[in-house]
Amino acid sequence: MAWATDWTSEGWSLERRLRNRLLAAMTGLWLLGSGLALYAQWRETNRVLDTAQEEIATTLLRLPTPPSTDSTTIVLPHPPTHDQAMLMQVYTKDGRLIWRTQQAPTTPLAVLDKHLSISEGDWHIVVLPAPHLDRVAVVAAPMHDRREALLSGAQALLLPLLALLPLTALTLTWMLRRVFRRLDDLNQDLRARDRGELDPVAVTGLPRELTPLAEGLNQLFERLTQVRQAERAFAANSAHELRTPIAAAQAQLQRLMHEFSNSATMQGEERTAMLQRIDALARQLTRLHHLCVKLLQLSRADAGLGQHTEPVDLVDVAQLVLEEFNQPEQQARLHLELPTSVVDDAGTDAITSDSVMVQGDLDALGIALRNLIENALLHSGPSQRVTVRITPQPSIDVIDEGPGIPPDRLDTVRQPFERGESPSPGHGLGLAIVSAVARQMGGTLQLISPHTEGHGLHARLMLRPA
């Protein structure tokens, strides 16, 4: 059934459903009221016309009586009511027809022995006996008069309904949209939120029917916030607690490597194998230390590292961060591109500028850019160029020539511990840290792969101008 499909269909509109139901209910009630009114009108019309026919019959009974010896029926040229459509007859008590209209037959239209008011076929017949006059009057009126009266009444009741239905639908739509506007505001509020924003929704101003829904959402957000805080605390505490023993283990390993290098107790292949094992252990400890650093950065970013913003020069941030990558192979691959000019609001004058000021946090921007550069160096290959570009939009672009990320994975890799398809080692935290920093500073992280300048990854950190 249609209504069953409507209720079980996906993506249905509550506003549209209420409008259709209300419109159907109003139409049904209008039709019911019209039907009752037409029924009452039909009865009243019959009563009035029956009375009129009886009055005509009474008038016919008062006509003069022809001589009793005359058997000729007098034909009335014009009925007293001047209604040429009516049929009229006057009989004596013994059944002799003494008066009739021109259209009336010579035989009785109905039985003459009693008072009648009946409908037969297309005629409504009234028989009015007058015992004191020894006469019976018969008056027949066509039914189409009554039907026309009923049709006129139906048109008077139903035509306004047809005319008002579109207006009623528009009025209901306008009223329901005003009622649901507060729900639209709630919907827009939820849609405009970032993925990690769990602030409570505003309950004030909502109708009573929607208040439990908003309170339920707030309770869910509160539980999710508690879970996230517990995860952050665990990650931060774990990373902090692990840094000290990892640093101690690295120091002990370096001492062991130094002592072993100066020792002559082991020679040949055995010595080479031991050095390889020590080197592998050193790489694992370095990787574990790097993971702890990333976890601490992610915890700081999630905790609101970039919320307290101030004017910061992107050029200074880029130059400071690039100085940290001081290995010769890193310096050979990194290329910094600075803006040469900034176009004014009119779009005509070019003003030379050596700085790009944004609203942000120096430490947070440094962490974000450092992670973008580390990702590009790690995943683009040992000899591929990595471009760091400062644009006047303002933004920081980091472009590599690595294998890139499949387009269907560009949203997924923003989540912690999610990695692309690169074979290079990594923890899947770099882009999550950058995304969190961008969100805290009111910016966005855009990922394009493959980009227009090659087949690698183009990461663009869009920021707010100062």
267 within some domain: yes
284 and 383: one domain? no
HEC profile for 38-56? HHHHHHHHHHHHHHHHHHH
pTM across the whole model: 0.46
403 and 443: one domain? yes
- Taking 80 as the threshold, does the pLDDT of residue 25 lie above it? yes
Highest-confidence segment of 6-10, 173-177, 255-259: 173-177
Tell me, what amino acid is at 151? L
362 and 288: one domain? no
- Taking 70 as the threshold, does the pLDDT of residue 297 lie above it? no
Q: Are 454 and 397 in contact (CB under 8 A)?
A: no
173 within some domain: no
455 and 341: one domain? yes
Distances (CA, A) of 454 to 34, 387, 447: 74, 12, 14
318 and 419: one domain? yes
Instruction: Round to whole Å and give the CA distance between 32 and 417.
Output: 66
Among 91, 123, 151, the domain boundary falls at: 151
- Taking 60 as the threshold, does the pLDDT of residue 335 lie above it? yes
328-332-334-339 Cα dihedral, nearest 10 degrees: 120
126 and 198: one domain? no
| pLDDT for res 5 | 44
461 and 321: one domain? yes
What average pLDDT does the segment 19-42 reach? 83
269 and 339: one domain? no
Q: In what order do the strands lie in the sheet with 74-76?
A: 74-76, 97-101, 87-92, 135-142, 123-130, 116-120
How many CB atoms are closer than 10 A to CB 440? 24
Phi and psi angles of residue 212, each rounded to the nearest 5 degrees, phi first: -60, -35
Among 288, 303, 318, the domain boundary falls at: 303
Q: Which of 306-315, 392-401, 415-424 has the lowest mean pLDDT?
A: 415-424
| pLDDT for res 82 | 46
84 and 209: one domain? no
CATH of the domain at 415: 3.30.565.10
CATH of the domain at 133: 3.30.450
180 within some domain: no
334 and 447: one domain? yes
Q: Are 115 and 130 in contact (CB under 8 A)?
A: no
H-only helix segments in 192-267: 211-262
Residue 173 pLDDT grade (very low, low, confident, very high; cuts 50, 70, 90): confident
Domain residues for the domain of 47 are 15-151
- Taking 60 as the threshold, does the pLDDT of residue 92 lie above it? yes
Among 270, 288, 303, the domain boundary falls at: 303
Residue 78 pLDDT grade (very low, low, confident, very high; cuts 50, 70, 90): low
201 and 292: one domain? yes
160 within some domain: no
3-state SS assignment for residue 414: helix
Q: Which of 302-311, 339-348, 450-459 has the lowest mean pLDDT?
A: 339-348
How many separate domains does the chain show?
Answer: 3
141 and 210: one domain? no
- What pLDDT, in 10s, does the model give residues 107-156? 888 888 888 888 888 888 899 898 787 889 999 988 887 888 788 878 88
How many helical (H) and strand (E) elements, i.e. helices and strands, does the chain have?
9, 16
